[in-house]
Structure 1
C-alpha cells in the first residue's frame, strides 16, 4: 500500500510542474525581481510590491504575504505537507538572521533560498528580509517583521548544472544554512554549504546561465584585499567599470559616506527612492542593490551587505545583470543620491563622529 502512496505523491509532484520561479498566476517564469514597499502611514501597508520580469515592471495585484502570491507559489515545493519531498529534491534556506536567532559574525550577511530538482531545474532566490522564510507553510512563511521596511527579492530559474557554481558562491560568501535537505548525490559544492565549509573568497566573478539562457553574474568580495577596503560596492564598481548608485540600509550603525576618491570609480549612496506606489527614504529601505550610473553601462546588481564599516570585514556578494531595460528601471527609482560634489557637511559629521548619532535620532530608525 505504501508503494502506491509513494507513486501517487511523486505523480502529484510531477503534475505541479518543474521547480521554477513562478508568477502570481502560478505560471513558470525564468526570473523576476520584487521590490516591496515599506509601511507608510495612510499610504502603504508594507505588503505591496513592484514586480519586474522580462516583460517590464508593474504593480502586483496580491500582497507579498499572500498564500497564493508570487513568493508562496515559488516556494511551494518547500511547503509539502508532512515534509514529504521527492528523492531528487533538495533545498537550502540561509540567512544571518534566522527565524530563531542570529548567525555568528564570521558568517556572511546574506539571505536566500535554493530549491533544486536534480533531474531538472531549480531556483535561487536572493533577498534582504530577516527571518524569511519564517516557516515551511504557505500561510505563515512571511515574517511579521517583514512589513516595516522596503525589501528586495530576485528569483532565477537555473538548470541543475549551474548549482555547482552557485554552491561555490555560497561558500565564498559563507552563507549560514539554517534549514536544509541536500541528498548525498547532489553537487559536492552544495554539500559543503550545508556542512558550513569555510572557503576563503577569491573575488570570484562567475557567469551563470538561466534556464532560458539569460546571463547572470555572481560576485563575491575578497575581504583580504585592501584595494576596496572591504566595500563590496567598490569591488563591483571596479569589476563593471562604472560609477554606481547604491541602495543599502539607511539606519545601519556606522553607515559610510559615498566613496569619492580621485581616479577611482565612485560609489554614491541613494537617499530617496521614488516609485509609482510612493516614495521613501533609505532609512525606510532595508534592500541592498546597485546600478551603473554611467549612461552607456547597463549593470544592475542585487547584493547582500550594507555600506558600513562594521560590514567591511564580513563576507558578501551579489547577483548581477547586464541589461539596459533592468538598469534603466532601477536607475529611475533613485530619486536623490549623496552626490560626490556635495559631501562637505557629511564629511564634517563623520569627522565629529556625529553621523551615526543623527541616524539614531531619526524616527525611522530603531533605537
Structure 2
C-alpha cells in the first residue's frame, strides 16, 4: 500500500492510498470508499487482533519503531518500523511500514494524525508460524526497538529476545516463504564505522540499497525521504543506485504528483524493466543512516514491481559522485576510437 502526502496543491488529505493485493488487483481508497485511518478499512482490519486488552493463549505481537508514540528510540537501535503478530498454532503477519508513531494506539485511533503529512508505504505478508524464528532473527539484526508487545514464554526465543531489546546488529540475508508459497528475502544491512567521513567512498558499504543491488545483481531505482540531513546523491559505480526525485499516481480522481521531500516512504525497484524485483525498506540514503541498522523485505513480483515503476517520474544521475571506476569495455574503447578518428585525432588503442 502506498499512501499519498497531504498537499494543498494536489488537493489530497494525506489519507488516500493505492493498494495492490497478492493477486495483482490494484485499487485505491476511492474504490474502497475508506481512507487509511478507517478502523474497518484495509489497514484497520489487518490490525484488528491488536484492538483488544485480552490476548488469546497462542497469540503474540511486537510493534517496533525508531519513532514510537511520544518519544524517539535511542540511536543504537535501527531506523526501522513495523509489527509482527502471530498465532502459534497457525500463521501470522509481518507488516513493514514507514509511519512514525504507528500504531498510535491499539484501538480505533490506531493511525496518527502526524502520519498524514508525508507519503508512506506498507507491505503485509502472511507467514506460517515457524518462519517467525527467522523474522525474529532479522529484527535482532536490524536492532528493532519494540515499544509494545505481548509474546508468550513458549514462542520463538528470537522474538522474546527482541522484546528484551537485545542488541545484535549486523548484516544478514535470509530466504523466507509466505504461507501461500511466495519467495521473499529479508536483508539486514552492514553498518559503517562512526569514523567514516561524509565523502569517504567506504561510506557506501552501509548503503542498504547498494547491498540490494549487489545481492540481486541489478541497478536499482530508489525512493527515500528527500529532506534527510546530508541526503546521499545517486551512486554510479559497478552497480547503480539512482534516486527518484518525484512520483506520480492516480488515486481515483486523476493523476497527482509529489516530490521526494514530501515522501517518507523507502522502497526500490530494479532499473531493468524486465526484472520484477521490488523491496520495501526501512532506511533513507544518508550517511547518518549508513551508520545505523536497517533492512528490507524483497521479492520478485511483476504486478507490484510494474505498479511502483509506473509511479516514478524520473531518476537522478550523479556522474560526479562515482566512488568506483567501472571497467572500460572493448565496446567503450571502440566507440571512443571511432569518435577520435572522426575528429582526426589519435586512437586510444590500436589492437588487443
Please state which band the TM-score falls in when normalised by the shorter chain. 0.7 to 0.9
> Alpha carbons of 1:102 and 1:255: their partners in 2 closer, same or farther (altered >3 Å)?
same
The aligned residue for residue 85 of structure 1 is: 55
Q: Distance in 2 between matches of 1:171 and 1:228?
A: 22
Residue 35 of structure 2 corresponds to residue 63 of structure 1: yes
The aligned residue for residue 267 of structure 1 is: 241
C-alpha offsets along residues 271-314 of structure 1, whole Å, 9 cap, x if unaligned?
11011131110011000000000133221100000001111100
The aligned residue for residue 339 of structure 1 is: 317
Please give the root-mean-square deviation of Cα atoms over the aligned residues, in Å.
Answer: 1.6
Runs ≥4 in structure 1, deviation > 3 angstroms? 224-228, 340-344
Which of 265, 272, 278 pairs up with 1:300? 278
Gapped runs of 5+ residues in structure 2? 194-201, 323-352
Which of 301, 318, 321 pairs up with 2:299? 321
> Alpha carbons of 1:313 and 1:331: their partners in 2 closer, same or farther (altered >3 Å)?
same
The aligned residue for residue 229 of structure 2 is: 253
Q: Distance in 2 between matches of 1:315 and 1:109?
A: 6
Residue 26 of structure 2 corresponds to residue 38 of structure 1: no
Q: Distance in 2 between matches of 1:275 and 1:128?
A: 19
Residue 155 of structure 2 corresponds to residue 155 of structure 1: no
- Tell me if the contact between 2:24 and 2:304 (Cα under 8 Å) persists in the aligned partners: no
Gapped runs of 5+ residues in structure 1? 1-33, 345-367
Q: Distance in 1 between matches of 2:51 and 2:281?
A: 26
Describe how 1:125-164 pairs up with structure 2 within 5 A. Answer: 125-138=95-108, 140-164=109-133
Deviation at 1:251, TM superposition (A): 0.7
The aligned residue for residue 242 of structure 1 is: 218
Which of 80, 105, 111 pairs up with 1:110? 80
> Alpha carbons of 1:342 and 1:274: their partners in 2 closer, same or farther (altered >3 Å)?
farther
Q: Distance in 2 between matches of 1:213 and 1:97?
A: 33
C-alpha offsets along residues 212-260 of structure 1, whole Å, 9 cap, x if unaligned?
1111110011215958431111111100111110000001111010011
Which of 79, 88, 96 pairs up with 2:66? 96
Q: TM-score, normalised by structure 2?
A: 0.84
- Tell me if the contact between 2:189 and 2:211 (Cα under 8 Å) persists in the aligned partners: yes
The aligned residue for residue 17 of structure 2 is: 49
Q: Distance in 2 between matches of 1:147 and 1:108?
A: 23
- Tell me if the contact between 2:24 and 2:303 (Cα under 8 Å) persists in the aligned partners: no
The aligned residue for residue 119 of structure 1 is: 89
The aligned residue for residue 214 of structure 1 is: 182
C-alpha offsets along residues 186-235 of structure 1, whole Å, 9 cap, x if unaligned?
0011011111112141x322111111111111001121595843111111
Q: TM-score, normalised by structure 1?
A: 0.80
Q: Distance in 1 between matches of 2:181 and 2:231?
A: 38
Q: Distance in 2 between matches of 1:276 and 1:114?
A: 30
Q: Distance in 1 between matches of 2:160 and 2:248?
A: 41
Deviation at 1:339, TM superposition (A): 2.2
Which of 121, 137, 141 pairs up with 1:172? 141
C-alpha offsets along residues 14-63 of structure 1, whole Å, 9 cap, x if unaligned?
xxxxxxxxxxxxxxxxxxxx100001215110100000112332212310
Secondary structure of 2:245's aligned partner = strand
> Alpha carbons of 1:149 and 1:224: their partners in 2 closer, same or farther (altered >3 Å)?
closer
